């Protein structure tokens, strides 16, 4: 719908502004002139404006709001407009309309009385520019680290050539043959993982639009990592809400992210066990990983899903923690340095944030926050910025109390 047509559909905007407490007939001429000027200002604004009364019904709007949300608007309940106009009115700075455009929706109270004013801004172009900038940043990082990457590729290739030369020996025993083949396979697996991480990091975009049950996703991750957890003598505990928490995005990419974080936590627990040596302290130590899922948000509603991956491993010093998301930064000789960079890229592509809280000897907590898919009739609230969300999540991540509504630990699923 064109802005001109939208203005025609929203003509009650000016008369609504002129409905003053003293009545139109008695209102001074200056007050009526001021009301007309205010109506013109609303129409000239480069953003949509919607005014809600105390019951959540639209009592005033401008033409650009009609262009974004369609008609009719005046007198309609805002919740019904959300269902009609938006594809997914979740938490985030960019909310998708059904026609593909992205809107930023900001709210403020309507003075001292009941009601709200909604400001709608089209951020489609700015989001596209930001996505392009992020992709160029990732590509630039790959270019800057080309020498390091070449070294990482050359090392497993050289090992493969060495083990292949062993296979050419005529006096090679069957046991040595199997051992060389296993080492060649391990080197090729490392190369495959490195190339896969590179592609996901360079691409980084959200590739899916399916609704995902977060608890079911984490149960799948637990099943996939069960053999590694058993071999590493590490216990995995899943704490999840009773109600389903739905996300929207690429299921495979999110499974890869969570699997990456669980494996990192397992390796931290194994390093702590190795640091104890072979004494009784090492025998008493039990690796423990917690996957905690909970809905958080502003008072009056939960719009953000928080996933915590908490371990009791070695932890990280501050200088490592500050660089943990840098591409190609790793503290392991067999690491690619792209695992957590990929995690951050995928979570950002899903309009989420990721953070780390870790202290040496005290373990590590990795927190992820993603927008929930709200049920039909979700209310409009001011969007939480990523910066504010990150600070709040760090505080929440350190809480020791059990989140409300989770399955009791005595009946949680545990892999040993």
**Residue ranges covered by each domain of the chain:** 3-122, 130-203, 207-415
Q: Where are the alpha helices (DSSP H) in 276-317?
A: 280-284
The proportion of the chain whose per-residue pLDDT surpasses 90, expressed as a percent, equals 16
Question: Is the per-residue pLDDT at 165 higher than 80?
Answer: yes
Give the contacts of 378 (CB within 8 A, at least 6 positions apart): 79, 82, 89, 90, 301, 303
- The model's pLDDT over 280-319, given as tens digits with 9 standing for 90+, comes to 665 667 889 999 998 886 544 447 899 999 999 889 888 8
Task: Report the pLDDT value the prediction gives residue 91, as an integer from 0 to 100.
Answer: 63
pLDDT at 227 over 80: yes
Question: Is 70 exceeded by the pLDDT of residue 29?
Answer: yes
C-beta separation of 317 from 331 below 8 A: no
CATH of domain 3-122: 3.30.450.20
- The model's pLDDT over 171-206, given as tens digits with 9 standing for 90+, comes to 888 888 888 898 888 888 877 877 776 666 666 545
Instruction: Identify the H or E element spanning 368.
Output: strand 363-371
Residue 409 scores a pLDDT above 80: no
The position carrying tokens 């592609």 is 199
User: At a CB cut-off of 8 Å and minimum separation 6, what does 389 contact?
Assistant: 304, 353, 369
Is the predicted pLDDT of residue 154 greater than 60, yes or no?
Answer: yes
**What tokens appear for 221 in the block?**
């991750």
Q: In the predicted model, what is the mean pLDDT of residues 368-393?
A: 52
Tell me: pLDDT of 276 over 60. yes
Confidence at residue 368, expressed as pLDDT on a 0 to 100 scale = 94
* Tally of helices (H runs) and strands (E runs) in the chain: 14, 13
Reported as a pLDDT band with limits 50, 70 and 90, residue 161 is confident
Is 215:244 a contact under the CB 8 Å cutoff?
yes
Mark out the alpha helices in 110-145 (DSSP H runs).
124-144
CA distance 315 to 366: 11
| Residue 183: per-residue pLDDT | 86
pLDDT tens figures, 228-258: 888 888 899 999 887 778 888 888 888 888 9
CA-based diameter of the chain, in Å?
110
Cis geometry, peptide bond prior to residue 72 (ω within 30 degrees of 0): yes
Q: Confirm or reject CATH 3.30.565.10 for domain 207-415, answering yes or no.
A: yes
User: CA 99 → CA 50, 201, 241, 320, distances in Å?
Assistant: 19, 29, 33, 44
> Positive or negative, the Cα torsion across 317, 257, 332, 198?
negative
- CA-angle at 211, arms to 78 and 402, nearest 5°: 90
DSSP state letters, 249-285: E-HHHHHHHHHHHHHHHHHHHHHHHHHTTTSHHHHH-
């Amino acid at each position: 719908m064109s802005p001109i047509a939208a203005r025609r559909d929203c003509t009650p905007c000016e008369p609504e502004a002129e409905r003053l407490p003293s009545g139109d007939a008695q209102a001074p001429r200056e007050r009526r002139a001021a009301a007309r000027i205010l109506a013109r200002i609303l129409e000239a604004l480069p953003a949509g404006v919607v005014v809600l009364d105390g019951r959540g019904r639209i009592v005033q709007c401008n033409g650009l709001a009609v262009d974004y949300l369609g008609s009719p608007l005046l007198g309609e309940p805002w919740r019904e407009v959300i269902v009609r106009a938006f594809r997914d009115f979740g938490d985030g700075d960019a909310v998708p309309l059904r026609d593909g455009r992205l809107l930023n929706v900001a709210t403020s109270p309507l003075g001292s009385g009941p009601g709200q004013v909604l400001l709608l801004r089209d951020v489609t172009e700015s989001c596209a520019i930001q996505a392009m900038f992020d992709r160029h940043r990732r590509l630039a990082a790959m270019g800057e680290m080309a020498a390091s990457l070449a070294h990482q590729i050359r090392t497993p290739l050289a090992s493969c050539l060495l083990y292949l030369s062993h296979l050419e020996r005529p006096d090679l025993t069957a046991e040595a043959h199997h051992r060389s083949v296993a080492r060649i396979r391990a080197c090729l697996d490392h190369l495959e993982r490195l190339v896969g991480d590179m592609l996901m990091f360079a691409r980084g975009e959200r590739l899916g639009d399916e609704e995902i049950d977060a608890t079911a996703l984490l149960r799948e991750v637990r099943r996939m990592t069960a053999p590694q957890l058993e071999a590493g003598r590490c216990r995995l505990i899943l704490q999840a809400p009773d109600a389903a928490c739905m996300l929207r995005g690429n299921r495979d990419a999110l499974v890869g992210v969570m699997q990456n974080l669980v494996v990192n936590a397992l390796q931290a627990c194994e390093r702590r066990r190795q640091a104890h040596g072979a004494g009784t302290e090492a025998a008493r130590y039990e690796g423990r990983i917690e996957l905690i899922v909970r809905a958080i948000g502003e008072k009056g509603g939960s719009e953000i899903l928080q996933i915590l991956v908490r371990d009791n491993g070695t932890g990280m010093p501050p200088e490592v923690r500050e660089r943990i998301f840098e591409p190609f930064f790793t503290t392991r000789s067999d690491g690619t340095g792209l695992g957590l960079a990929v995690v951050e890229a995928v979570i950002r592509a899903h309009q989420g944030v990721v953070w780390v809280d870790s202290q040496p000897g005290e373990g590590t907590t990795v927190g992820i926050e993603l927008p929930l898919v709200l049920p039909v009739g979700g209310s409009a609230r001011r969007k939480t910025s990523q910066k504010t969300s990150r600070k709040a999540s760090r505080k929440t991540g350190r809480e020791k109390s059990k989140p409300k509504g989770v399955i009791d630990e005595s009946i949680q699923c545990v892999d040993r």
